[in-house]
Amino acid sequence: MRRVLIIDDEDDIREVAALSLEAIAGWQILTAGSGVEGMAIAAAERPDAIIMDVMMPEMDGPTTFGLMQQDASIKHIPVLLLTAKVQGVDQRRFANLGVAGVLFKPFDPLTLSQQVADVLGWTE
């Protein structure tokens, strides 16, 4: 069973994404409300992938990703950024970070798991 960590400061986004991925794909979902909490959960639980919001208070997604890349225990975990920013310049900036992919808000809960699987090359 795939295990995915969702890091987002918005409770409703975490809940909708978690329910979607659990119900449709049957994945085990872990959640965190901040980058700091997410890094701790990632280190302890070693999920198969991380979906992380770009805009979060205190420490945003790109900063959290950068810190994750400095931690040998978690830097191998693929990260997908979740963002409402759809401008080309933002997309290029995110791609240049080295993340596995970028997902856009608002997302469709019925197709989210397929989008994640497609980006990560997960075939069942």
What pLDDT is recorded for position 93? Answer: 76
pLDDT in tens, 24-52: 999 999 999 999 999 999 999 999 999 99
pLDDT in tens, 74-101: 999 999 999 886 676 777 777 788 999 9
Q: Tell me the domain boundaries of the chain.
A: 3-118
Mean pLDDT of the chain: 93
Between these two residues, 94 and 68, which has the higher pLDDT value? 68
d(CA 5, CA 52): 8
Length of the chain: 124
pTM, entire model: 0.94
What pLDDT is recorded for position 96? Answer: 82
- Integer-rounded Cα Rg, in Å, for the chain is 13
Q: Binning pLDDT at 50, 70 and 90, where does residue 124 land? A: low
B/e letters for 33-63, b = 16+ CB within 10 Å, e = fewer, are bbbeebbebbeeeebebbbbbbebeeebbbe
Of 5, 53, 52, the C-alpha closest to 27 is: 5
Question: Is the Cβ–Cβ distance between 50 and 80 less than 8 Å?
Answer: yes
Question: Is the Cβ–Cβ distance between 33 and 10 less than 8 Å?
Answer: no
Which CATH superfamily hosts domain 3-118? Answer: Response regulator (3.40.50.2300)
Evaluate if residue 116 carries a pLDDT over 70. yes
The percent of residues above 90 in pLDDT, for the chain, comes to 84
